[in-house]
Amino acid sequence: MSSVPPPSPSEPARLAALARYRVLGTPPEASFDRITRLAAQVLGVPLAAVNLVGEDHQWTKACLGGEATETALGESFCVWTVRQEGAVLVVPDARQDPRFRDYAAVRSGAVVAYAGAPLVTPDGHRIGTLCVTAPRPRDFTPAEQETLELLAGMVVDELELRLRTEELTRARDHAHTLRDLAELMGEPLSPGEMARRALRLLGGAMRLDWAGLLHLSAQASEVLSDHASAPADGFGAEVRWRLLDPAGELRPTLLGWERVFLDDAAAVAGRCPELLTAGLASAAWLHVQVEEERHMPGGAYVLLLARLGEPAAWSEEERLLLEAAARSVGVALERAEYLQALEHAALTDALTGLGNRRALDDALDEADTRLAATGEGYVLGVVDLDGMKRVNDERGHASGDDLLREFGRGLPAPGLHAYRLGGDEYALLGPVAPGDDPTRWAERLRRQVREAVARVQAQGYPADASLGVAAVPGDAPGATGALRRADARMYEDKRERGTGRGTRRDEPAEHPLAWET
């Protein structure tokens, strides 16, 4: 006869019920020790134990009169108790029972008599036993068997109490985490810092081996912030590689996802097999909404949460926490976008879309800082658009605004930044590498202004422009002196060409002017 009875068709559900208690491998607990002591005293036996029967082994949660051990099912009395149909399994003399007589404990004389009552969960699954043994043959009366059953019921009650306590503790901890995430939304944090703090909070509230805030787009994708346990560093590197490598499967596979929870390896294999090979066992993928039904410009922001090794389904409480974290990061992204828009508006001329005077001041400060640090100089051009008054008088201010916009559109070029200082005044700024000839850049500024003049003249505007250029450090040591020198040269150019501020020559030039500084 086989030393292990065959499992029933409901074995997967029984193992799931056992796993739900999360008790395997946990240290001794006084409540279970008290029950084994009571069982041994009442039944007059030297050994009593609470054993839990897993897929391949029997594990002891509490034991009086022996050691808490892990036993293979081929040497287990309790697996017979769990897989039989009856209530208490009684073995008066195992030496005479063909099922057990070859067990090592029986051959050694340590176990002769056995009685085990199944631990039956509220939904009817037999997950283990409360058992007693004796080194001599003996029977167990119906009253003793009933006592063992009652005590086994107390073990299940303790398991249920333990489970409910853990659930309440987790619910309390999750509530605290939700509160902390809500408070996090009120802090003026950058999206990356918000994600780091949110991911740390989640890592303390649930099992997370790796978590990251990703930005995905068809052009470029990256991990903006991540949180990982030490063994998950390799997984994070794999995610980065697949995001950055144009041939990687991750970006096109996941770009369109918005809210996905993958609870096991089969689900992972079905949706992102390329990460299954990297060790992913369970995953959560949440699109970070910045506004209702709206994606961030230029791509999508998502939270990717990963469990490696053993899969573990995402509980409802965990899903709520993850969605709250996605909302908190979304708030930070929305705040950052709003502040960025405010900053852009504060540095942008509303009419032309060019940088304004404040933007030029900031750019000059940065240029002076680079000059001191690296020796990189710059050229600065001050431009005055001639002919605005005539356009305003003859065509109206709307046409004057169109002239300002069209002229401004012709000024920027690669490496050359344009600004509108107000009215009909503009500025151009370009870098000059150490050792480079600043006159080359000065000529480039002149050429750019000529092209802008030709642009508006081609559209029928009777306009020209005056330009003054100064180089730093050649003409001045810094921005203040360069502005004065360029402005003076612009007025000198205006006088030499016979134009007055806000006026034009009697006849517009047929060709762009040759500028002199």
Q: In this predicted structure, what is the pLDDT of residue 52?
A: 96
Q: In terms of Cα–Cα distance, which of 49, 176, 182 is closest to 111?
A: 49
- pLDDT tens, residue by residue, 156-165: 999 999 999 8
> Cα(58)–Cα(119) distance, rounded to whole angstroms?
13
> Cα(28)–Cα(488) distance, rounded to whole angstroms?
89
Residue with the larger pLDDT of the pair 30 and 259: 30
Pairing of strands 113-120, 126-134: antiparallel
Confidence band for 271, pLDDT divided at 50, 70 and 90: confident
> Cα(429)–Cα(433) distance, rounded to whole angstroms?
13
Q: In this predicted structure, what is the pLDDT of residue 516?
A: 34
Torsion of CA 306, 312, 317, 322, to 10 degrees: 10
- pLDDT tens, residue by residue, 344-391: 888 999 899 999 999 999 999 999 999 999 999 999 999 999 988 888
**For residue 247, how many C-alpha atoms fall within 13 Å in the half-sphere facing its CB?**
0
Instruction: Determine which of 48-57, 124-133, 389-398, 430-439 has the lowest per-residue pLDDT on average.
Output: 430-439
Residue with the larger pLDDT of the pair 462 and 3: 462
Q: What is the DSSP string of 89-113?
A: EEES-GGG-TTTTTSHHHHTTS-SE
Average pLDDT estimate for 196-215? 82
Average pLDDT estimate for 184-189? 74
Q: In this predicted structure, what is the pLDDT of residue 218?
A: 67
Judged against a pLDDT cut of 50, whether residue 34 lies above it is answered with yes
Tell me the torsion sign for CA atoms 231, 234, 236, 238: negative
Q: Secondary structure of the chain: what % helix, strand, coil (to 5)?
A: 45, 20, 30
Q: What percent of the chain has pLDDT over 90?
A: 46
> Cα(180)–Cα(201) distance, rounded to whole angstroms?
8
Q: In this predicted structure, what is the pLDDT of residue 246?
A: 55
Q: In this predicted structure, what is the pLDDT of residue 199?
A: 79
* Tokens read off for 461: 């505007």
Write 255-261 long-range contacts (CB < 8 A, 24+): 255/216, 255/218, 255/300, 257/285, 257/287, 257/302, 258/286, 258/287, 259/285, 259/286, 259/287, 259/323, 260/284, 260/285, 261/285, 261/314, 261/319
Task: Kindly report the pTM of this predicted structure.
Answer: 0.51
The length of the chain in residues reads 517
> Cα(304)–Cα(174) distance, rounded to whole angstroms?
19
Give the SS3 label for residue 246: coil
Confidence band for 298, pLDDT divided at 50, 70 and 90: low
Residue with the larger pLDDT of the pair 506 and 406: 406
Q: Which residues pair with 63 in a beta bridge?
A: 49
- Cα distances (Å, whole numbers) of residue 344 to 117, 290, 337, 356, 416: 74, 19, 10, 10, 19
Average pLDDT, the chain: 84
Q: In terms of Cα–Cα distance, which of 344, 333, 346 is closest to 301?
A: 333
* Tokens read off for 168: 């309440």
Q: In this predicted structure, what is the pLDDT of residue 318?
A: 84
> Cα(452)–Cα(96) distance, rounded to whole angstroms?
108
Average pLDDT estimate for 479-500? 87
> Cα(45)–Cα(64) distance, rounded to whole angstroms?
10
